[in-house]
Structure 1
Amino acid sequence: MTENEQLWARAAAKAATTRPWGWPSLPDPVDAATVARAEAALGFRLPPLLADLYLRIGDGGFGPEYGLLPLFDTSPAGEPAAVTQYLAHREGGREDPDWPWPEGVLPISHWGCAMYACVDCHSPEGTVLLFEPNSGDPDHAWFVDAPSLGHWLRSWLDGTGWYGALDDDLGLHPWTEFRIRTTATGRTTP
């Protein structure tokens, strides 16, 4: 069994027995056509592990705090789907160039207070980022939550994620690629 298969099996077992806030039950997994439709709408491929979570466990409804967002459907708590969130954030960045959204960074989980866990779908390892805009400064709103989606899932499974800490210091490092990866009108923002 590969490392990803072991991780998937652990995540599936926990997803079967725990519900994030607002989710009464685990949704059915999506089919390959739904993943393909999401990738077409987004304009990029999902990292294989993320696609497998949706294909093999459920269309959201598991994971830390409010859980993974569904790909297309609104969550039971009223949170828009991952694809909808991404497209809205990208459009919002065109409308407000002070808050551009990086290309290929898919919101996958809402933390509350406008904060999101996001996967950098353009990074080979699927780096997980924290978008925390409450400072009011877009240059200080992005942090590296985990070096890979696998690490992020393991921290949820092991109970070692930053969101379990009781202090205000998250101990996360800024994501230095934010300005390099944002485009307001099809060009890189300086």
Structure 2
Amino acid sequence: MPTGPFPPLALSELERAEQKIGYRLPDLLRRIYTEIGDGGFGPEGGLASLTDGHRPPGTLTDWHCALTIHDQRPGWAPPRSWFFLTGGGCSMEWYVSLIAVDHPVLLYDADGWVPEWGQEPHDGLRYATSSLRHWLWTWADGGNVWDEALQTIHQD
């Protein structure tokens, strides 16, 4: 677990990452990555980096890189317009929509669907919160980012 954010990215590094993703990141994420740090802090143990090779002190593996995850989506995965934010434990991952108004945050559970019931992988997707800003503010204010997501899961 990192002790704080990794060093911020230069704007040119951020723009190269956006070119690779194929979408512009929300302004709030752009500011986070260029003014605060290249991941390693935030909800659920920390936002993914936009660059490879960050290794938190005392660990044997590199920190997760959102671009690598974006490029190596196995089989069915969330659309490319959804950007990986961080893992959610077990088979769950948090994503943000790069194209929807206010950039809602989505939770994907790869084990959250049952083929025998006629479900498909997209049935593992859950709307978690109305905006990236709300999701991050919940964390920054000491709240639990799971609260709203769990409410939507239990309504299904």
Structures share a fold, TM > 0.5? yes
Pairwise TM-score range, normalised by the shorter structure: 0.7 to 0.9
Cross-structure match for 2:81: 104
CA positional deviation for 1:173: 5.3
Number of aligned residue pairs: 143
Query: Secondary structure, in 3 states, of the residue corresponding to 1:36?
Result: helix
User: 2:85 is aligned with what amino acid?
Assistant: I
Query: Secondary structure, in 3 states, of the residue corresponding to 2:85?
Result: strand
TM-score (norm 2): 0.81
CA RMSD of aligned residues (A): 2.3
Q: 2:53 and 2:109 mapped to 1: Cα distance?
A: 22
TM-score (norm 1): 0.67
> How do 1:62-141 and structure 2 match up within 5 A?
62-75=41-54, 76=56, 78-89=62-73, 92=74, 96=75, 99-137=76-114, 138-141=121-124
Q: 1:118 and 1:44 mapped to 2: Cα distance?
A: 14
User: 1:55 is aligned with what amino acid?
Assistant: T
User: Are 2:126 and 1:146 equivalent residues in the alignment?
Assistant: no
**Unaligned residue ranges in structure 1 (runs of 5+):** 1-21, 175-190
Query: Secondary structure, in 3 states, of the residue corresponding to 2:135?
Result: helix
Query: Secondary structure, in 3 states, of the residue corresponding to 2:9?
Result: coil
Query: Secondary structure, in 3 states, of the residue corresponding to 1:171?
Result: helix
Q: 2:145 and 2:42 mapped to 1: Cα distance?
A: 14
CA positional deviation for 1:132: 1.4
Give me the identity figure in percent: 32
Query: Secondary structure, in 3 states, of the residue corresponding to 1:70?
Result: coil
Q: 1:56 and 1:172 mapped to 2: Cα distance?
A: 33
Query: Secondary structure, in 3 states, of the residue corresponding to 1:134?
Result: coil
Q: 2:95 and 2:84 mapped to 1: Cα distance?
A: 4
* Cα 1:53–1:101 shift into 2, 3 Å: same
CA positional deviation for 1:114: 2.4
| Alignment partner of 2:7 out of 21, 25, 28 | 28
Query: Secondary structure, in 3 states, of the residue corresponding to 2:19?
Result: helix
Q: 2:53 and 2:153 mapped to 1: Cα distance?
A: 31
CA positional deviation for 1:64: 1.4
| Alignment partner of 2:146 out of 163, 173, 181 | 163
